[in-house]
Amino acid sequence: MNEIEEYIRLEAQAVSQNSYMDLIRTAPNRRRTLIAVIVGFGAQWNGIGVVSYYLTLVLNTIGITTVAQQALINGLLQLFNFAAAVFGGALMVDRLGRRTLFLIGTGGLLLSYICWTALTAQFVMTKNPGLGNGVVAFIFIAYFFYDISWTPFLYSYPVEIFPFNLRSRGMVVTLSSTFIGLISGQLINPIALKAIGWKYYIVFCCIISILFTLIYFLFPETKGCTLEEIGDIFDKKTVVIETDLKKIADEENETVQTEKVESPKGIAV
């Protein structure tokens, strides 16, 4: 009980000594904060939200309009999501790593969305039921890639990358970005789907491509790392730069001092 009370006291003390400005005060913290924003906002704007909240509109575009068919697909999709998240993401996270799963999940989601968009476009022109069934298959495939990456990492990855004294504020940034993405999606998605139909999927293909690029260049691998080692991953570049600059400055000062104590003939004064 005493240990718990001491932990709570230290946590409160650490939080009170920091502010939200610390999230952007240094380059490593700005990178952490940017990652938190990308994870939170990207979780709502990687295309899955269209299916989660507007499955009926999506299925209507491929000719699946009966209530029974839509309810069956929705029910199977929820069961599939649970199985993929538990037996896919949870089992692979410590084997493949966070960054690797993020890249695999986002890359697979992008390819699935491209195929999904192309099949929907063909269905609109031909009304071939087989193409509609293909779209349903790719919806499940897209969800699989989402479930193994974005589902488990929405909360766990930001928690890992922030130091102890900024972790709570980092999670506030992640959740705030998530709700901003959620609210904006609720306002934009239904209007866009009704206005341009399947062509709206092209927008998500572009967004997912941007997310994949950002993950590739910004997200470090934290698999098997302690919190101190994760801190070193973010701070290492800054430390190396500062060390090099200090070394250059010391060499310049040493040269200046040498010039001051030497005579024009090279004889020390």
- The C-alpha atoms of residue 144 and residue 47 are separated, in whole angstroms, by 13
Containing structural domain, residue 58: 24-221
Region 245-262: mean pLDDT is 54
Residue 242 predicted with pLDDT over 60: no
Q: Are residues 123 and 104 in the same domain?
A: yes
Region 3-24: mean pLDDT is 71
Do 163 and 227 contact (CB within 8 A), yes or no? Answer: yes
Q: Are residues 251 and 206 in the same domain?
A: no
What pLDDT does 245 receive?
43
What pLDDT does 109 receive?
96
Residue 269 lies in a domain: yes
State what percent of residues in the chain have pLDDT above 90.
57
Residue 6 lies in a domain: no
Residue 266 predicted with pLDDT over 60: no
Q: Which long-range contacts (CB under 8 A, 24 or more apart) does 121-125 make?
A: 121/198, 123/61, 123/62, 123/63, 124/61, 124/197, 124/198
Please give the model's pTM, rounded to 2 decimal places.
0.80
What pLDDT does 267 receive?
44
Question: Which range (79-83, 107-111, 250-254) has the least confidence?
Answer: 250-254
Residue 3 lies in a domain: no
What pLDDT does 8 receive?
64
What pLDDT does 240 receive?
40
Q: Are residues 231 and 210 in the same domain?
A: no
What pLDDT does 52 receive?
87
Q: How confident is the model at residue 252 (pLDDT cuts 50, 70, 90)?
A: low
Residue 2 lies in a domain: no
Q: Are residues 40 and 153 in the same domain?
A: yes
Q: Are residues 36 and 88 in the same domain?
A: yes
Residue 143 lies in a domain: yes
- The C-alpha atoms of residue 218 and residue 166 are separated, in whole angstroms, by 19
What pLDDT does 19 receive?
80
Residue 110 lies in a domain: yes
Q: Higher pLDDT residue, 86 or 41? A: 41
Burial class (CB in 10 A: 0-12, 13-18, 19+), 15: middle
Distances (CA, A) of 144 to 137, 139, 172, 185: 11, 9, 27, 21
Do 182 and 170 contact (CB within 8 A), yes or no? Answer: no
Residue 19 lies in a domain: no
Query: Measured between alpha carbons, how far apart are the two ends of the chain, in Å?
Result: 70
Q: Are residues 131 and 180 in the same domain?
A: yes
Q: Are residues 202 and 230 in the same domain?
A: no
Mean pLDDT of the chain: 85
Q: Are residues 83 and 134 in the same domain?
A: yes
Q: Are residues 246 and 143 in the same domain?
A: no
Question: Which range (47-61, 131-145, 172-186) has the least confidence?
Answer: 47-61
Q: Higher pLDDT residue, 57 or 245? A: 57
Residue 17 lies in a domain: no
Q: Are residues 62 and 85 in the same domain?
A: yes
Give residue 142's identity as a one-letter amino acid code.
A
Contacts (Cβ under 8 Å, ≥6 apart) of 188: none
Domain CATH for 126? 1.20.1250.20
What pLDDT does 241 receive?
37
pLDDT digits (tens, 9 = 90+) for 181-221: 999 999 999 999 989 989 999 999 999 999 999 999 999 99
- The C-alpha atoms of residue 203 and residue 187 are separated, in whole angstroms, by 16
What pLDDT does 147 receive?
92
Q: Are residues 65 and 114 in the same domain?
A: yes
Residue 23 predicted with pLDDT over 70: yes
User: Which of 8-17, 39-48, 224-233, 240-249 is most confident?
Assistant: 39-48
Question: Which range (5-14, 207-216, 251-260) has the least confidence?
Answer: 251-260
What pLDDT does 229 receive?
85
What pLDDT does 254 receive?
62
Phi and psi dihedrals of 34, rounded to 5?
-60, -40
Question: Domains in the chain: how many in total?
Answer: 2
Q: How many CB atoms lie within 10 A of CB 90?
A: 14
Question: Which range (7-16, 103-112, 171-180) has the least confidence?
Answer: 7-16
Q: Are residues 77 and 129 in the same domain?
A: yes
Residue 244 predicted with pLDDT over 60: no
